[in-house]
Amino acid sequence: MPSRTPDRRRPVPPSEELLAPVSPGVELCYQTFGHPEADPLLLVMGLGGPMTWWPSALCEQLAEAGFFVVRYDNRDTGRSTRMPGRVTHAMLVRAFLGRRVRAPYSLADLADDAFGLMDHLGLDSAHVAGLSMGGMVAQTMAIAEPRRVRSLTSIMSTTGRRSVGWQSPRLLPALVAPRQPGREAYVRTSAALWRMIGSPEYPVAHEVLLERARETYDRGFDARGVLRQTLAVLTQPDRTRRLRGLRMPTAVVHGLADHMVHVSGGRATAAAVPGAELVLIDGMGHDLPEALHPSLVDVLRRTADRAAQPAS
């Protein structure tokens, strides 16, 4: 039976924000929700996103469902270490066209960071869920060290194959437009982008988008770090063949209205992993609307529970 110890009588508050040395020169900022003896669940966020993009309300629900939840800032985001390395527009264009580019770091390095955080917490293994770029990192973790990934949940992500998981052409003007420096410019452009990529059936109030952008900037936004992460994504390998070798319980969640990562990316991921459950959600875009939190908790819980069942 799963080792969950749910307590539905009150919300489970997060720990303080803590720092974990995960490799020489790299520290990750992280928080935990729930009881350390519960089922460990590592949440990996996407491109340019701090750990707070995993909503606290969702993390509390996951803790109440029997998880010891760990969310963290990837390197180059939030309060984690800023990395060296300059990324130019020309490098991004070459990588987008499939040409060889030397990136400051790779998705494999981000996966190693996650394993380093698990080591710091004394976790030999954990359930791992990743969103967008975080889903790519989670897949990379499962491929690299499958014994350490009890179950895998890939959310609004893709396999690295260039023919799936593409971005809607209507987003390109906003994505390639020059970014003005400063807090107010970031808040304005970030909220506008969230409006474009969010879930059309679950709209978020404009003031909520603005507040999220303000919090993101104030926690430590770094445009150069976003470029380094972007290059890691653009230079990722096609994981399709190696995903076919995974044997841990896997779920793939994707919105049918996702304009940032086309649903073909989720379908391809589920098709590659033997026995994966594919969950397609009408009206869901590239965000985590509050109305869908119970559904996400259910997917993560039943996927984790599959890991506790004897192999047939």
Over residues 187-224, the pLDDT tens digits come to 999 999 999 999 999 999 999 999 999 999 999 999 99
* Angle subtended at Cα 235 by Cα 303 and Cα 170, rounded to the nearest 5 degrees: 80
Residues 45-57 have pLDDT tens digits of 999 999 999 999 9
User: What per-residue confidence (pLDDT) applies to 199?
Assistant: 97
Spatial neighbors of 205 by CB under 8 A, at least 6 apart, are: none
Neighbouring C-alpha atoms within 13 Å toward the C-beta of 285: 18
Spatial neighbors of 133 by CB under 8 A, at least 6 apart, are: 45, 46, 47, 107, 157, 229, 232, 233
User: What per-residue confidence (pLDDT) applies to 8?
Assistant: 42
Spatial neighbors of 98 by CB under 8 A, at least 6 apart, are: 162
pLDDT above 70 covers a percentage of the chain that reads 95
Strands 277-281, 250-255: parallel, antiparallel or unpaired by DSSP?
A: parallel
Residues 107-166 have pLDDT tens digits of 999 999 999 999 999 999 999 999 999 999 999 999 999 999 999 999 999 999 999 999
| Pairwise CA distance, residues 301 & 2, whole Å | 10
Least Cα distance to 43 among 137, 121, 107 occurs for: 137
User: What per-residue confidence (pLDDT) applies to 111?
Assistant: 98
Q: For residue 1, is pLDDT > 50?
A: no
Residues 164-182 have pLDDT tens digits of 999 988 887 777 677 788 9
User: What per-residue confidence (pLDDT) applies to 69?
Assistant: 98
Residues 261-310 have pLDDT tens digits of 999 999 999 999 999 999 999 999 999 999 999 999 999 999 999 998 76
| Pairwise CA distance, residues 50 & 225, whole Å | 12
| Pairwise CA distance, residues 280 & 140, whole Å | 22
Q: What is the third-level CATH fold of 18-166+223-307?
A: Rossmann fold (3.40.50)
Q: For residue 82, is pLDDT > 80?
A: yes
- The pLDDT confidence band at residue 11, using thresholds 50, 70 and 90, is low
Q: For residue 16, is pLDDT > 60?
A: yes
Strands 18-23, 26-33: parallel, antiparallel or unpaired by DSSP?
A: antiparallel
Strands across the sheet with 277-281, in order?
18-23, 26-33, 67-72, 39-44, 126-131, 149-155, 250-255, 277-281
User: What per-residue confidence (pLDDT) applies to 13?
Assistant: 74
Overall residue count recorded for the chain in this entry: 312
The two three-digit tokens of residue 69, written as one number: 């939840």
Helix, strand, coil fractions of the chain, as percent rounded to 5:
40, 15, 40
Give the start-to-end residue ranges of the domains of the chain: 18-166+223-307
Q: Please state the pTM of the whole predicted model.
A: 0.94
